[in-house]
Amino acid sequence: MLGLGAAGVAAAPYVQNGIDSFLGAAAGKDPTGVTGLLPNSSGFRYYSVAASTPKKTGQTYRLTVDGLVDRPATYTLAQLRAMPQTRLVRDVQCVTGWRVPETPFEGVQLSHLLALAGVRPSARAIRFTCFDGTYSESLTLQQAGRKDVLAALRMQDKDVTHAHGGPVRLYVAPMYFYKSAKWLSGITVTDRVQPGYWEELGYDVDAWVGRSNGRSDTPTV
Ligand SMILES: Nc1nc2c(c(=O)[nH]1)N[C@H]1C(S)=C(S)[C@@H](COP(=O)(O)O)O[C@H]1N2
Ligand SMILES: [Mo]
């Protein structure tokens, strides 16, 4: 049961110390640098602000959609897999500077889940919560309606691994990767933006990656 991935995660706190001293200024200037390096994960770093996160499977995973909606819902992984899937290939960009070019993500458009739920007229924003019990994120309703914002079930053409926030993570393609909340468990429609975990600590709520990074604010799907 403990495969290479689990060993990599277990080793992450030790690797983190190495990275912090290794990267020095880079790690220091960015608080999201609480990280470890996953061996053989093609440039990705493993990020979690929680000390540990329970593993969820196809049997135990649930995604809840609630708040200012007419039809609150709770979905299993099988139900999410049965919905229309969108595949996007974009560059992943972390604010700390590392990036992973042309990474495929695939999943259900957030706008599809919102349409099923029936968003009420008073709605303005979305709050995302995670089953690590700590992390949160936010989007305006307008941002959440973009076609390049997904509840992602697949990353790098594999099911999203536990280390990368599986079985389901948020994927906000046009924004810095901290918007892409791992271990997604809750989508709550709200009447105003409630800043997420890093945003409480000073990060931009609107985290668009600039055009210089090869992205445009215009959705391409
Ligand atoms: N639940 C949760 N989601 C999170 C984070 C986190 O610490 N916890 N870190 C964010 C940051 S800063 C980045 S860069 C990416 C890292 O994703 P990865 O671990 O799959 O590389 O996850 C984002 N989503
Ligand atoms: Mo990040």
Quick check: CB of 90 below 6 Å from ligand 1? no
Structure tokens at 125: 């924003």
Task: Tell me the percentage of the chain whose pLDDT exceeds 90.
Answer: 71
Quick check: CB of 49 below 6 Å from ligand 1? yes
- If DSSP codes are grouped into helix, strand and coil, which group holds residue 177? helix
Nearest CA to ligand 1 atom 2: 182
Query: 188: domain CATH number?
Result: 3.90.420.10
pLDDT at position 45, please?
84
Q: Mark whether 68 and 116 lie in a shared domain.
A: yes
The total of other beta-carbon atoms located within 10 Å of residue 195's CB is 16
Nearest CA to ligand 1 atom 1: 182
Q: Which atom of ligand 1 is nearest to the CA of 130?
A: 1
Q: Mark whether 83 and 153 lie in a shared domain.
A: yes
Q: Mark whether 84 and 145 lie in a shared domain.
A: yes
- Alpha-carbon distance of 129 to 197, in angstroms, equals 10
Q: Rounded to the nearest whole angstrom, what is the distance from the C-alpha of residue 121 to the centroid of ligand 2?
A: 33
**Which residue did the predictor score with more confidence, 30 or 205?**
205
Task: Tell me the percentage of the chain whose pLDDT exceeds 70.
Answer: 76
Quick check: CB of 169 below 6 Å from ligand 1? no
Quick check: CB of 96 below 6 Å from ligand 1? no
Average pLDDT along the chain: 84
Quick check: CB of 137 below 6 Å from ligand 1? no
For the chain, what is the domain count? 2
Q: Mark whether 46 and 92 lie in a shared domain.
A: no
pLDDT at position 97, please?
84
Please check the confidence at residue 30 and state whether its pLDDT lies above 70: no
- Alpha-carbon distance of 127 to 196, in angstroms, equals 8
Domain that holds residue 88: 63-201
- pLDDT by residue (tens digit) across 45-61? 888 999 999 999 999 99
pLDDT at position 29, please?
38
Q: Mark whether 98 and 191 lie in a shared domain.
A: yes
Residue 207 maps to a domain: no
Q: Which residues, in sequence order, are bridge partners of residue 75?
A: 63
Task: Transcribe 57-101 into DSSP letters.
Answer: -TTT--EEEEESBSS-EEE-HHHHHTS--EEEEEEEE-TTS-EEE
Can you tell me which residue has the tokens 């560059």? 91
Nearest CA to ligand 1 atom 13: 178
- pLDDT by residue (tens digit) across 152-171? 999 999 999 999 999 999 99
**Rounded mean pLDDT, 26-51:** 63
For a pocket test of ligand 1, which of 30, 172, 180, 201 has the largest count of ligand atoms closer than 8 A to its C-beta?
A: 180
For a pocket test of ligand 1, which of 34, 178, 198 has the largest count of ligand atoms closer than 8 A to its C-beta?
A: 178
- Alpha-carbon distance of 155 to 199, in angstroms, equals 25
Q: Which atom of ligand 1 is nearest to the CA of 98?
A: 14
**With DSSP H G I counted as helix, E B as strand and the rest as coil, what are the percentages for the chain, rounded to 5?**
25, 30, 45
Q: Mark whether 6 and 75 lie in a shared domain.
A: no
Q: Which atom of ligand 1 is nearest to the CA of 35?
A: 19
Q: Mark whether 71 and 178 lie in a shared domain.
A: yes
